[in-house]
Amino acid sequence: MSGKIGINYGREGDNLPSPYESIQIMTSMKVGQIKLNDSDPEILTLLSGTKIHVAVTVPNDDIIRIGSNETYAEQWVRNSFIPHYPNTLIRFVLVGNGVLNSNLDGDRMALYDSLLPAMRGIKNSLNAHGIRNVKVTTTLAMDVLQTSFPPSNGTFRSDISGTVMPRVLKFLNGTKSVLFLDVYPYFAWSANPINISLDFALLRENLTQTDPGSGLVYTNLLDQMLDSVTFAIEKLGFHNIRLAISGTGWPSAGDIDQIGANIYNAATYNRNLVRKMTLKPLPGTPKSPGVIVPTFISSLYDESRKIGPETERHWGLLHANGTPVYEIDLTGSRNMSDYSPLPPAENNQPYKGKVWCEVAPWVNEVSLPSALSSVCSTDNQTCAALAPGGECYEPVSVVWHASYAFSSYWAKYRSQGAICSFNGLARETTVDPSKFPMNSDQR
C-alpha cells in the first residue's frame, strides 16, 4: 500500500476545473492517491498512465442490486472496472460510503444485508478475471462505535456488533483487505471544546494522554480515534485488520456559531497530518506502531453544492477556481517554518452573541416559494405571523417571508439538530431579521 498522501476528488461544486485540469492540478501537487465517490469513466481514463493510485466507489444506491445477484457484480466489474485496469492504477474498490452510519436514510436493514454479498460478489468477479491485487472493502464513519474513549473502551454499536460487523470483518480478514474510515477530529473537538484540547486535535503533539485501560500514551486525537476502532475490532476476535483513512481534514470556514472553522486551523491540521503520515520511519499509532495508514484528505476543492452547515462547503485545499485556500506541501518535505504566515484564528471560542437565519444573498428567488411552503407546512406556528394581517406580513416579499420562516423554524428546532441551511437557501446572520433593510427589488 502507498504511504503517499491522497485526496478526495469530490465534484459537488459549481464552475470547478474540468477533470483534465483537476488531474493536472493534482499531479502538480504531487498527490499520490485519489479517492472517487464513483467510478467516473472520464476521470479513470484521464488517470491512465499516471502513477497515481486510485480508490473507486460503488454508490450506496447500487448496493442492494449488486448484492442480490453475482451477475450484477460481474456487470459492474465489466462496465466500471475492466475498461480502465491495469492502465489506471485502481487499488481499492469501496463498496458503499457510510452504509453502517447510525443516521442513514432509507431501508437501512436492506443495505446492511446487501453489503457483504455485494463486496463478495465484486471480489469473486475480480478473482475470476485474474485480478487479485485490488482490495475490496467499504467505508465507515466513526458513529459505528458505541463507545470510543478511552480508545481501549472502543466497542461497535449494539445493532451491528453481533450481525453485519463481524461478517464484514471476516471478509476483510480473509481477503487481507483494509477497513476504510472517515476520521475527523474537528467534529469530536468542536462538539466538546472544553474537554478536548485544540492543540491535541490539531496534531501539534505537545500534549500527552495515557489510556488507563491499555497504558498506551497518545499525543493527538487522530490516533485515539483510529485506535478506538482497532480495539473494537479486536473485541470481535480479529487482530490483523489494517485501517485506512478515507477522509480527514479541517474546514477553513463555517457558520457564525461553528467554532474553530478557520484557515489557520485547517492549514495547521492538514500540514501536521502530512508530516505525521510521511515520517520515516512510519509512526503508525500507539496501538499499531510502524504501519502504513493510507490517508485521503478531504477534499481537493471547496464544493458549493454540498448540503448542510457552512463547513460542508469549506473542506477544500483549493477554492473552486483552483487557487489554494492555503499553502500545503503534500510530500511532507517542506519545513513548517518555510510557510508564509497564516491569518489569525478568530473563532476558536464558542460564539456568545445572538444568531438568526436568513435567505442567502446569492439565492434565486424562484426557488423560495416551495421552500417557504415546506417550512410552513411542517409547523403551522412557524408562519402564523406571516398570514395576511399578521404582525410580520409586511413587507409582502418572498425573501422577507422566507427569512422570517427560516429563522423562526431554526430557532424552535435548533436544539434538536436543525441547521440553518434549508437545502442551501439560507445562511446564518448576526442581524435580526425584523430589522432587515429591504431593497426595492425585494418589496
Q: What is the pLDDT of residues 279-298, one digit of tens each?
A: 988 889 999 999 999 999 99
Task: Give yes or no for residue 323 having a pLDDT over 70.
Answer: yes
167 versus 353: the higher-pLDDT residue is 167
131-164: buried (b, 16+ CB within 10 Å) or exposed (e) per residue? beebbbbbbbbbbbbbebbbbbbbebeebbbeeb
pLDDT of residue 3: 77
pLDDT of residue 353: 84
Q: Is the pLDDT of residue 442 over 60?
A: no
Q: Is the pLDDT score of 130 beyond 70?
A: yes
Residue predicted with more confidence, 77 or 369: 77
Which residues are CB-contacts of 106 (< 8 A; sequence separation ≥ 6)? none
Say if CB 302 and CB 316 are below 8 A apart: yes
pLDDT reported for residue 440 = 31
Provide the β-strand partners of residue 301: 318
The pTM score is 0.88
Mean pLDDT score across all residues of the chain: 90
Confidence of residue 251 (pLDDT cuts 50, 70, 90): very high
**Could you read off the pLDDT of 70-109 as tens digits, one per residue?**
999 999 999 999 999 999 999 999 999 988 886 666 567 7
Fill in the DSSP letter of residue 337.
Answer: G
pLDDT at 379 over 80: no
Measured CA angle at 40 (ends 37, 43), to 5 deg: 105
- The proportion of the chain whose per-residue pLDDT surpasses 90, expressed as a percent, equals 67
**441 pLDDT band (50/70/90 cuts)?**
very low
Of 94-108, 153-167, 220-234, least confident by mean pLDDT is: 94-108
CA distance 57 to 387: 48
- Enclosing H/E stretch for 68: helix 60-68
pLDDT single digits (tens) 36-66:
999 999 999 999 999 999 999 999 999 999 9
Helix, strand, or coil here: 58? strand
Supply 412's cell numbers. 424552535
Which of the two residues, 84 and 382, has the higher pLDDT score?
84
